[in-house]
Amino acid sequence: MEKVNALIVDDEQDSRETLRSYLTKYCPQINILGESANIQEARQAILKHEPQLVFLDVEMPHGNAFDLLEQWETVPFETIFVTAFSKYAIQAFNLSAAHYLLKPLEIEALEKAVSDAEERIQKNKLINTAQVLLENIRTSGSQNRKLVLPLLEGFDIVRASEILYCEANDNFTCFYFKGGNKSMICRSLKFYDQVLEPLGFCRIHRSFVVNLDTVIRYNKGKGGSIILENGKELMVANSRKEELVEKLKGI
């Protein structure tokens, strides 16, 4: 099998050595072309080696990972972010379906991230999640942010504003869109509840997460129900009623 050419970008020598050691031992399909300690070195190395994959530390002196990526109009390589960072950063990565590894590194997570990146590279499925992540960071207004939805045959990229609501279906989540389309995604509603909540969505029931911008009416009752702009009525769990009403009042 053809190897994947990669670079490691991290300001900490110990971290670079650990990642290189793990890749050599557990991911032999990776060919490490070089290492960089800051974004200036990284830019030169990327231009020189034209890697297919970059392991990129999020926070470094004199510029972060996003400062590096913004130097390309279209990012020409797959990216696996490496971070010890905050919940906000993780939320942003999940929203964009970007691959990330938490420090200290876990072998299983590293193997999975590398395997997924390798598959996209080999199949030429470079719907570049780093590019979507950058767009989300630049975008003002949560409803304008984009969400990458992984499908069996690739990805859908949608704006938060296009989503009406999400419905749990065992370990899958069904997304319902304003145009009448829907997509079944192989991730739990709990995952998308956490990802979408900062974008103006609310869990109203164990089965439903709704885009509050699409709610046009609340009907009183034990838990009550809501009517969406397309006429769809969804029941509200009694335990979720108070939070929902407060959020609707704040819109």
Q: How far apart are CA 77 and CA 128, in angstroms?
A: 8
List pLDDT tens digits, range 142-163: 888 888 888 776 778 899 999 9
Domain segments of the chain: what residues?
Answer: 4-136, 160-249
Burial of 157 (0-12, 13-18, 19+ CB in 10 A): middle
Residue 37 has pLDDT above 70, yes or no: yes
pLDDT for the residue 87? 59
Coil/strand/helix, residue 173: strand
Q: What is the pTM of this model?
A: 0.70
Cβ–Cβ under 8 Å, residues 92 and 147: no
List pLDDT tens digits, range 160-180: 999 999 999 999 999 999 999
DSSP state letter for 81? E
| 4-136 CATH | 3.40.50.2300
Q: How far apart are CA 150 and CA 184, in angstroms?
A: 9
Instruction: Report the CATH superfamily, name and number, of domain 160-249.
Output: LytTr DNA-binding domain (2.40.50.1020)
| Identical fold, 4-136 and 160-249 | no
Residues 196-224, mean pLDDT to the nearest whole number? 95
Lowest mean pLDDT of 20-24, 61-65, 126-130, 192-196, name the range. 126-130
